[in-house]
Amino acid sequence: DSGVTQTPKHLITATGQRVTLRCSPRSGDLSVYWYQQSLDQGLQFLIQYYNGEERAKGNILERFSAQQFPDLHSELNLSSLELGDSALYFCASSVGLGAQYEQYFGPGTRLTVT
Amino acid sequence: GEDVEQSLFLSVREGDSSVINCTYTDSSSTYLYWYKQEPGAGLQLLTYIFSNMDMKQDQRLTVLLNKKDKHLSLRIADTQTGDSAIYFCAGRYNTDKLIFGTGTRLQVFP
């Protein structure tokens, strides 16, 4: 158990809908990362937050947005869902900035868009 | 840009050694990692190596880094059925993000 929790574990929804994925980092971790794992694109970085502020952006679609709240939990919002958005979404956390800090991964949320 | 490639599949007999290979294009990564993903589970960090090292050994795991050829490998000694999983190499770059390889599915048969 990494200490990172993600809810829900599974989510099935229809095209055009909007969903919110939630991540609680390890206690004391200030940085949160979101990754998407799909058959087409593999594992790719979406976005990073540090202490409530956006820190880095990767291949995140405009239909997707995220935020980190004062209690450090993070939410990833996916809207106007398409079939191709079906994927496993991982959240990771680390205590600080910099490559010397390990990223701990949550178990993921499996999103199925029908 | 950053690109990390791995072979897709490796099959080994229990007790043999497994070698999983990874090549990358961007040499600016300071750390290189190996992650393991079991079915239905998240990513587990197995080991990592600093970019100024050539080799790191951690129990049954040996990581070799050839910076000249931009090649990273993970050797698992005495491979067990519990080692069956997908293995990802990853590099960490200036923005902290991890760039993952395509993943190698390791199948261990008795």
pLDDT in tens, A88-109: 999 999 998 887 788 999 999 9
CB B90 within 8 A of CB B33: yes
Q: How many CA atoms lie within 13 A of A55 on its CB side?
A: 19
Which residues have a Cβ under 8 Å from the Cβ of A102 and sit 6 or more positions away?
A94, B45, B48
Burial of B45 (0-12, 13-18, 19+ CB in 10 A): middle
Decide which of B7 and B20 is more confident.
B20
Nearest CA in chain B to A36: B100
- State residue B51's pLDDT score: 85
Per-window interface: B 3-62 vs A, CB < 8 A: 30-31, 35, 41-45, 48
How does residue A37 score in pLDDT terms, banded at 50, 70 and 90?
very high
- pLDDT at residue B29 is higher than 80: no
Is residue B103 less than 8 Å (CB to CB) from chain A? yes
- State residue B42's pLDDT score: 85
Per-window interface: A 89-108 vs B, CB < 8 A: 90, 92, 94, 97-100, 102-108
Which has the minimum average pLDDT: A1-15, A91-105, B77-91? Answer: A91-105
What tokens were used for A23?
């991540």
Which residues have a Cβ under 8 Å from the Cβ of A77 and sit 6 or more positions away?
A18, A19, A20, A21, A64, A65, A66, A67
Cβ-defined contact of A97 to B96 (cutoff 8 Å): yes
- State residue B27's pLDDT score: 73
Cβ-defined contact of B45 to A97 (cutoff 8 Å): no
**For B98, which of A2, A97, A103 is closest by C-beta distance?**
A103
